[in-house]
Amino acid sequence: METRKTLLKIVGLMQTVIGGLSIVFAFLAFYNIFSIQTMLGTTVVDIGFYLWVFVIAGILSTISGLFLIYEQSRVGNHD
C-alpha cells in the first residue's frame, strides 16, 4: 500500500508539472519568447494551432495528475 501511495504521489506530481510546463511552453512559443518559433521551424499561421494543442494537452495532464494526488490522499485516509 505504501509503495502504491508513493507511486501515486510521484507520478501525480510529475504529470501536474508536465501539464503546467506544457501550458507555459505554449505561451512562450506563441509570443516567440527565446525565438522558439524559429527553433521549431514553425510559421506564425501554425502557432495558434500549437498553442491550442499544448494548452489542452497541458490542462488534461494537470487534471490527471491532480486526480492521482487526490487518490494518494484518499489511500492515506483509508489506511
C-beta of 14 vs 46, nearer to another protein:
14
62-67: which pairs have CB atoms within 8 A and are 24 or more residues apart?
62/15, 62/16, 62/19, 62/20, 62/23, 63/19, 64/15, 64/19, 65/11, 65/12, 65/13, 65/14, 65/15, 65/16, 65/17, 65/18, 65/19, 66/12, 66/16, 67/12
Within residues 7-66, the interface with another protein by CB under 8 A covers 7-8, 11-12, 14-15, 18, 35, 38-41, 48, 52, 55-57, 59-61, 63-65
Binding site for another protein (CB under 8 A): 7-8, 11-12, 14-15, 18, 35, 38-41, 48, 52, 55-57, 59-61, 63-65, 67-68, 71
